Amino acid sequence: MNKGKKILSKSPTVRLTRRIYDSVKVNFALKIIFLIIGIALWLNINLQKDFETTVDIPIRLNNIVSGKTLLNPIPEKARIKIRSKGKNILMSDFSKDVYFEIDGSTFTDSATIKINMDYFVNSSGTELEPLFIFHPQEINVVYDDLMVTRVPVILDYKFTPAPGYVTSGKFRMQPDSVTIRGPESKVRLVKNVRTLSIREEDVTAGFSKELDLILTDPGRLIYSEKSVTISQEVVRKGSVTFKAPIRITNKPESMNILLDPIAVDITVVGPVSELQNVTSDDFSVTADARELDNITNKIPVKVETNLTLEWEYSAKEVRAVQY
């Protein structure tokens, strides 16, 4: 067995493998540094060479005539072939610094613009040579009068509080209208903007949420808002009952009347937080002596209040005893 190991250790392949291992093992960090330097030199040499590549660059329409706007959007990008050194291509921002620029003040109605290198703009500070335009070869520019108007938002949202819960305070939607800007022939067609249709059941807590708007022709029209915010407090439902005295009105001085009962029970139902502030003083309870029924000896009871909560009272009429 030992003899076999000695023969294996003398193998050229094994000796070469050990030398490579020992070479990497010693000064490993230094070798990595030389590798990085080598890669950097290789990149520097190759990036000095000329390359041809295909890129997409923006098409910009500037200086549109005052009071006018585009009826239809023009293509956002143009695909072209360019030639330059590799480092220039890497350093150029083709979404911002390199583009086609068309002067919109040279026509007032409509025009067909043939895209050529006269419109090519390079503000990247690097040398780029445009070679060929793949598409679009031309663009159609059609103007329309610019119109700005404000339309209402139509809310398509409904919710139902869970049993034992009620709404508290006002329902709010912000904003309740949006501004639309765009071609007059398109803007005039939009009379309102609706929210997405949403239904919610058994709501047990207050909420504040955003609802997306359904935007008509967003490619041609600019909207000041893309969503609205709605909010509503939802709280536990409670009730409170108290007695409110009945006040006799329009009674002749010569008439003496005793009411039975002299007060009614009023029950108010609503948010617990709001019920704490409700008292009998919030209600006006009256009985008009002119409405006394001499046969039944009863007078109708009238209750008035400015409260918006649910409420009811115990007696629709009371017995009147004259003495």
**Mean local confidence (pLDDT), 239-266:** 92
Residue 227's SS3 state is strand
- How high is the pLDDT of residue 219? 87
The Cα–Cα gap between 313 and 244 comes to 9
- How high is the pLDDT of residue 155? 96
Residue 5 — pLDDT band, cuts 50, 70, 90?
very low
CATH architecture classification, 246-322:
Beta Complex (2.170)
The pLDDT tens digits of the residues spanning 108-143 come to 778 899 999 999 999 988 888 999 999 999 999 999
List phi, psi (to 5°) of 245. -65, 150
In 123-248, which ranges are continuous DSSP H helix?
Answer: 184-187
- Residue closest to 179 by CA, chosen among 192, 170, 165: 192
Please answer whether residues 102 and 76 qualify as being in contact, where contact means their C-beta atoms are separated by less than 8 angstroms: no
The Cα–Cα gap between 223 and 230 comes to 19
Residue 269 — pLDDT band, cuts 50, 70, 90?
very high
The pLDDT tens digits of the residues spanning 13-52 come to 666 666 666 665 556 666 677 667 767 666 666 656 788 8
CATH number, domain 146-236, options 2.170.120.40, 3.90.1150.10, 2.40.50.140, 3.30.70.3280: 2.170.120.40
- How high is the pLDDT of residue 30? 62
